[in-house]
């Protein structure tokens, strides 16, 4: 009790204790991470100690924690009401406005004054990840199958486009369905052995599958050119008309077709709209299939597989369709990636990519389409925006992720819109007055 | 005739054997959970399976609904439209799909994150899949799927009305109180249009009023839909009140089968429930000795 008198009120004593504990943890972490540094010395590597830096770090943690405790005492946190109907309704209204607004903004973006080559490039990157996130959302968010190897299908799509375009001279539009079909086939191929697995076990196997595809790409040199990758992948053309600064006299190019001056940004804008359309198709597909038997079966499977079986839903087919359709969209995105980059190598399809796509889905709020867009902007666009921070970029990135998870542990927009409402159904049925709806 | 009644089975007053269980045995390694059980369940009748805890009742259900493959035995379902079907040969999910055997679970298994109405629509999955050409028609926005869905919603609404959940149709199933979750599970099973409904302790955790509502619901289902109901239950007011037939299991063996009146008077059943007085047939002095030594043995 003397401590209480020494430091003042009891909550402050508790706070100091808490801060001391945190400082101790920080000290344990900081000694090897900050305190020791390897340096080049004449005889080899030497160790340099930086104890003042350790002291500063520990002091920062102590003071920071103490300030947090004081702040919490002055402004006590409001009780969590994450899933009350009021909040859900507010989010729903927000999303209903945000969705169309985002699409309108995306359509107009290339014509806005600040949209230079750099902004468009970043936007294309973000949209690629939005599409991948929406694709993975089918597998993870709807069907509840934790897939850590999603990048494998992205790679299959990219390599199918690269190989078909380079070897057979097929156009992008001919390759797109091929790439989608091949990726879907690989999705089924992965699906079969993991049918009985769920949760962690499924994650491990899919992780392994993702690595397998990458290792095969590295080692199957005769087909994939190994780690050197495939270069000279045909760039996209405007439905058969190339983007060519100096076309042959009798051939047409994009700028001559429309009678405008050539500019290299025309191709970038075309790529931008291409990925925008592909991503919106993915979104449309997901929104539609959620209201169809297959989509409802996916969600039911996520909720309870045993109950699904007791209702005569074939779990094998349901899981395989989820894997195949999710993989198909990754295949489309992969083809786009290959045609945009013009060069692909196995290095582009590491586990980190799978992790980022999964992070987008989880941060966005599982199953939330708009949440995925926001998460992709934050996770992919964010590091670009803070590029000036240079080596502190990844630190800021990590801090942001921690903040999101503290603020909204279930994802940015974690709520689920029922696929059908009795009230809405009655209204539309009355409006249509279909005979089937009037059965007693 | 009530809406959505099965086409066959109406007007047939003589209850026929819908389900015939012959020599059903289920072994898990050395443990015999169900040992040579044989009984029949009539069409348009309620058959209760009762017995003390661990008697193998749920194991019988799991064999019937395809969650276990029986070690020995034949399970014949005389489907009114498809003829005799051998359940022990069918793959798990085909039993509800083809044979029309629906079930509920001892600890309710709803799709908690989905709405009440969605739970009932998912139960009509197979019908909707056919109507929509495996969802393709729906994807293309054809009217055929819209009509099928409207019909599915109407069936769902019928069962929501029957179990008194219409006002809760757009709630998340997980947010319902326990008693309503139990009723929703029965409604979901009925939406799959079964010919045999298997209920695993439907009255567990219900208060007396809810439990008498349940009795009325089950009698209604039997008389209007004319399907067979198989029931595991501990609540004797439910079992004795509504069963047409009772099968008693104890330690995996079938010890009695018959009408409620017969079963209630059966000494083997009384022994199983109240415990056997092992010493009652012995001469009094031997029993006294046994009682004295029994504590130390």
Cβ B268 vs Cβ B255: under 8 Å? yes
Model pLDDT, residue B139: 75
Helix/strand/coil (H/E/C) assignment for every residue in chain B: CCCCCCCCCCCCCCCCEEEEEEEEEEEECCEEEEEEEEEEEECCCEEEEECCCCCCHHHHHHHHCCCCCCCEEEEEEEECCCEEEEHHHCCCCHHHHHHCEEECCCCCCCCCCCEHHHHHHHCCHHHHHHHCCCCHHHHCCCHHHHHHHHHHHHHHHHHHHHHCCHHHCCCEHHHCCHHHHHHHHHHHHHHCCCCEEEEECCCCCCCHHHHHHHHHHHHHHHHHHCCEEEEECCCHHHHHHHCCEEEEEECCEEEEEECHHHHHHCHHHHHHHHCCCCCCCCCHHHHHHHHHHHCCC
Nearest CB partner across the interface for A423, out of B97, B150, B170: B170
Cβ A329 vs Cβ A181: under 8 Å? no
Bridge pairing between strands B196-200 and B101-103: parallel
Say yes or no to pLDDT of B145 above 60. yes
CATH architecture of A85-407: Orthogonal Bundle (1.10)
- Cite the beta strand spans of A32-121 per DSSP E: 36-41, 44-49
Nearest CB partner across the interface for A309, out of B93, B115, B149: B93
Do B111 and A425 count as a contact with CB atoms less than 8 A apart?
no
Say yes or no to pLDDT of B88 above 60. yes
pLDDT tier at B2, thresholds 50, 70, 90: very low
Kindly compute the dihedral angle of the four CA atoms of residues A328, A334, A336, A338, in this order, to the nearest 10 degrees.
Answer: -150
Q: What's the predicted TM-score (pTM) here?
A: 0.82
Residue B49: CB atoms within 10 Å: 28
What is the rounded average pLDDT of the residues B19-29? Answer: 92
B150-169 residues touching A, CB cutoff 8 A: 150-151, 153-154, 157, 160, 166, 169
Q: Retrieve residue B32's tokens.
A: 């015999």
Cβ A428 vs Cβ A422: under 8 Å? no
A56-113 tens-digit pLDDT: 999 999 999 999 888 888 888 766 545 556 766 777 787 788 888 889 999 988 888 8
Model pLDDT, residue A365: 81
What is the rounded average pLDDT of the residues B157-179? Answer: 91
List domains and CATH numbers for chain B: 19-100+194-296 (3.40.50.300), 112-177 (no CATH)
Nearest CB partner across the interface for B118, out of A312, A420, A423: A420
A111-146 tens-digit pLDDT: 888 888 888 999 999 999 999 999 999 999 999 899
Q: Choose, out of A290, A422, A426, A440, the residue to mutate when testing the contact with B (most B CBs < 10 Å).
A: A422
Cβ A24 vs Cβ A5: under 8 Å? no
Q: Is A311 on the interface with B (CB under 8 A)?
A: yes
* Alpha-carbon gap, residue B42 to B37, rounded angstroms: 16
Cα A370 to Cα A81, A131, A385, B207, B253: the distances in Å are 21, 12, 21, 44, 57
What would the DSSP string read from start to end of A358-409? Answer: HHHHHHH-TT-HHHHHHHHIIIIIHHHHTGGGGGGHHHHHHHHHHHHHHH-T
| Nearest to A10, CA basis, from A1, A18, A20 | A1
Model pLDDT, residue A333: 96
| Nearest to B136, CA basis, from A203, A353, A295, A246 | A295
Q: Is B66 on the interface with A (CB under 8 A)?
A: yes
Model pLDDT, residue A182: 95
Cβ A206 vs Cβ A322: under 8 Å? no
Model pLDDT, residue B277: 58
ipTM of predicted complex: 0.84
Residue segments in chain A with a per-residue pLDDT below the cut of 50: 1-4, 81, 434-440
What is the rounded average pLDDT of the residues B66-70? Answer: 91
| Nearest to A279, CA basis, from A102, A145, A96 | A102
B125-144 residues touching A, CB cutoff 8 A: 125-126, 128-129, 132, 134-135, 138-139
Please report residues of A whose CB lies closer than 8 A to that of B224.
Answer: none
Give Cα A62 to chain centroid, integer Å.
35
Cβ B200 vs Cβ B106: under 8 Å? yes
| Nearest to B287, CA basis, from B277, B296, B276 | B277
Model pLDDT, residue B5: 45
pLDDT tier at B11, thresholds 50, 70, 90: very low
Bridge pairing between strands A343-344 and B17-28: unpaired
Q: Is B102 on the interface with A (CB under 8 A)?
A: yes
> The tokens 């309710």 sit on which residue?
B108
Q: Domains of chain A: which residue ranges?
A: 2-71, 85-407
Q: Is B147 exposed, middle or buried (0-12, 13-18, 19+ CB in 10 A)?
A: middle
Q: Retrieve residue B8's tokens.
A: 């066959």
Q: Retrieve residue B147's tokens.
A: 């009509």
What is the rounded average pLDDT of the residues B36-42? Answer: 91
Residues whose CB is less than 8 angstroms from the CB of residue A343 and which lie 6 or more positions away in sequence, other chains included = A229, A230, A231, A232, A233
Higher per-residue pLDDT: A325 or B140: A325
Q: Choose, out of A144, A310, A429, the residue to mutate when testing the contact with B (most B CBs < 10 Å).
A: A310
Model pLDDT, residue A384: 78
pLDDT tier at B218, thresholds 50, 70, 90: very high
Positive or negative CA dihedral for A136, A141, A144, A146? positive
CA distance B184 to chain A (A): 13
Residues whose CB is less than 8 angstroms from the CB of residue A208 and which lie 6 or more positions away in sequence, other chains included = A149
Do B122 and A421 count as a contact with CB atoms less than 8 A apart?
no
CA distance B205 to chain A (A): 20
Do A309 and B146 count as a contact with CB atoms less than 8 A apart?
no
């Amino acid at each position: 009790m003397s401590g209480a008198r020494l430091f003042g009120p009891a909550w402050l004593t508790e706070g100091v204790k808490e801060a001391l504990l945190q400082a101790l943890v920080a000290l344990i972490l900081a000694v090897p991470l900050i305190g020791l540094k390897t340096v080049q010395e004449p005889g080899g590597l030497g160790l340099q100690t930086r104890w003042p830096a350790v002291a500063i770090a520990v002091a920062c943690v102590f003071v920071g924690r103490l300030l947090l405790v004081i702040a919490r005492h002055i402004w006590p946190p409001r009780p969590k009401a994450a899933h009350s109907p009021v909040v859900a309704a507010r989010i729903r209204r927000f999303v209903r406005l945000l969705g169309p607004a985002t699409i309108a903004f995306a359509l107009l973006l290339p014509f806005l004054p600040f949209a230079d080559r750099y902004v468009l490039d970043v936007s294309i990157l973000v949209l690629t990840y939005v599409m991948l996130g929406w694709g993975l959302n089918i597998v993870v968010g709807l069907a509840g199958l934790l897939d850590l190897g999603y990048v494998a299908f992205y790679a299959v799509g990219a390599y199918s486009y690269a190989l078909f375009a380079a070897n057979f001279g097929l156009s992008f539009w001919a390759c797109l369905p091929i790439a989608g079909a091949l990726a879907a086939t690989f999705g089924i191929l992965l699906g079969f052995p993991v049918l009985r697995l769920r949760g962690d076990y499924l994650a491990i196997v899919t992780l392994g599958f993702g690595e397998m595809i990458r290792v095969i790409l590295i080692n199957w040199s005769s087909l994939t050119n190994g780690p050197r990758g495939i270069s000279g992948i045909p760039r996209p053309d405007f439905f058969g008309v190339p983007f060519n600064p100096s076309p042959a006299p009798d051939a047409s190019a994009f700028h001559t077709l429309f009678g405008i001056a050539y500019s290299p940004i025309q191709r970038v804008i075309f790529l931008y709209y291409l990925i925008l359309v592909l991503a919106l198709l993915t979104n449309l597909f997901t929104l539609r299939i959620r209201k169809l038997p297959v989509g409802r079966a996916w969600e039911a499977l996520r909720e309870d597989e045993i109950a699904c079986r007791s209702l005569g839903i074939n779990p094998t087919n349901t899981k395989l369709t989820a894997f195949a359709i999710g993989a198909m969209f990754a295949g489309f995105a992969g083809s786009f990636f290959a045609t945009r980059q013009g060069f692909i190598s196995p290095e582009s399809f590491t586990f980190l990519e799978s992790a980022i796509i999964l992070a987008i889905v989880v941060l966005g709020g599982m199953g939330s389409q708009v949440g995925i867009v926001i998460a992709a902007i934050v996770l992919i666009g964010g590091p670009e925006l803070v590029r000036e921070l240079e080596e502190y970029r990844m630190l800021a990135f990590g801090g942001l992720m921690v903040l999101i998870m503290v603020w909204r542990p279930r994802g940015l927009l974690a709520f689920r819109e029922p696929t059908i409402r009795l009230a809405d159904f009655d209204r539309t049925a009355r409006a249509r007055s279909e005979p089937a709806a009037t059965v007693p | 005739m009530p809406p959505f009644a099965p086409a066959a089975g109406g007007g047939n007053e003589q209850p026929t054997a819908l389900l015939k269980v012959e020599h059903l045995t289920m072994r898990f390694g050395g443990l015999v959970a169900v040992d040579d059980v044989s009984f029949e369940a009539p069409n348009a009748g309620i058959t209760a399976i009762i017995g003390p805890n661990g008697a193998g009742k749920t194991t019988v259900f799991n064999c019937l609904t395809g969650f276990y493959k029986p070690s020995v035995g034949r399970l014949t379902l005389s489907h009114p439209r498809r003829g005799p079907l051998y359940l022990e040969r069918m793959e798990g999910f085909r039993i509800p799909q083809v044979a029309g055997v629906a079930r509920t679970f001892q600890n309710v298994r709803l799709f908690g994150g989905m709405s009440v109405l969605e739970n009932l629509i998912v139960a009509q999955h197979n019908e909707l899949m056919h109507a929509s050409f495996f969802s393709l028609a729906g994807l293309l926005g054809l009217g055929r799927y819209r009509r099928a869905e409207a019909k599915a919603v109407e069936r769902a609404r019928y069962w929501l009305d029957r179990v008194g959940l219409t006002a809760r149709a757009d709630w998340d199933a997980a947010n319902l109180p326990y008693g309503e979750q139990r009723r929703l599970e029965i409604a979901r099973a009925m939406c799959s249009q079964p010919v045999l409904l298997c209920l695993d302790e439907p009255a567990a955790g219900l208060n007396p009023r809810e439990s008498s509502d349940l009795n009325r619901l089950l009698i209604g289902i039997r008389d209007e839909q004319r399907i067979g109901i198989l029931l595991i239950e501990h609540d004797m007011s439910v079992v004795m009140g509504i069963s047409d037939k009772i099968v008693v299991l104890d330690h995996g063996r079938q010890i009695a089968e018959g009408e409620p009146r017969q079963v209630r008077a059966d000494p083997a059943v009384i022994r199983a429930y109240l415990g056997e007085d092992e010493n009652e047939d012995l001469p009094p002095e031997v029993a006294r000795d046994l009682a004295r030594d029994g504590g130390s043995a």
